[in-house]
Structure 1
Amino acid sequence: MKYKKHVFICTNQKPAPKRSCGEEQGMALVDAFKEGLKNRGLQIEIRAQKTGCLDVCAFGPSMVVYPEGVFYGNVQLSDVEEIIESHLVNDQPVERLKLAV
């Protein structure tokens, strides 16, 4: 099955003192995206899943949306609905969270 969009949310765990997306609510973000997509009936067209390190640890929690390749940083649970509605549904990336990678 080919998805219109694929969302990868970092859940990597790194040993202290490094910052780690997994410790910064990575799995909670995965669950929130999956729930938000399911509530809109979009889980068939858009897949959200956990991933390992995206190599932007200083900006975590981080995620990337494909096929666009848009990276987001410092993503909070309160940002999930905005990302779903703006970017995943309406193809308008959330500029305030975008990373220049």
Structure 2
Amino acid sequence: MTDPESYFTCHIFCCENQRPPGHERGCCKEKDATRLRNYLKARVKELGVPGVRVNSAGCLDRCELGPVMVIYPDGVWYHYRTLEDAEEILQRHIVEGGRVPRLMLQPGDQTPPVG
């Protein structure tokens, strides 16, 4: 048996987890994650980018680095702070098929990238 064809070619999972105020790990929600995800979702629709779905995610367990997103099937993680960061990821990674190295997260990262 073969797997069915994918309904979406790309999923962008944006963490919007909320922890209690003052939690030592912080959370993406308190770092404007909902506004950033809403922006990405609207821009994907506005641009008519085919096969891309922007989803809210619960905790992605990289709270200290947030807000974070992961793009599948590529498995690339990003830290993004601003609408400009979100737009750059959308244009370079999703539309052009490239990467945004200054915002990419590596598996061992403990602090957000500088940039």
TM-score if structure 1 supplies the norm length?
0.91
**Alignment check: 8 A CA contact 1:75 1:97 kept:** no
Q: Which amino acid aligns with 1:89?
A: V
1:29 to 2:36 alignment = yes
Identify the match of residue 13 of structure 2 among 1, 8, 11: 8
Task: Report the AA paired with residue 48 of structure 1.
Answer: V
Distance 2:72 2:104 in 1: 13
Does the 8 A contact of 1:3 with 1:47 survive in 2?
yes
The aligned amino acid for 1:30 is R
Aligned length: 100
Checking the alignment, whether the CA contact within 8 Å between 1:61 and 1:76 is kept in structure 2 is no
**2:77 paired with 1:71:** yes
The CA distance in 2 between the partners of 1:12 and 1:81, in whole Å, is 21
Deviation at 1:45, TM superposition (A): 1.1
Query: What SS does the corresponding residue of 2:31 show, helix, strand or coil?
Result: coil
Tell me the distance in 2 between the aligned counterparts of 1:75 and 1:3.
26
Counterpart for residue 45 of structure 1: 51
Post-superposition CA distance 1:19-38 (Å, at most 9, x none):
11011111111110011101
- SS state of the match for residue 68, structure 1? coil
Using the TM superposition, name which of 49-58 and 70-79 deviates more. 70-79
User: CA shift at 1:84, angstroms?
Assistant: 0.8
Identity of aligned residues (%): 38
Cα distance in 2 for partners of 1:75, 1:50 equals 16
Q: State the distance in 1 between where 2:82 and 2:69 align.
A: 11
**Residue number in structure 2 paired with 1:55:** 61
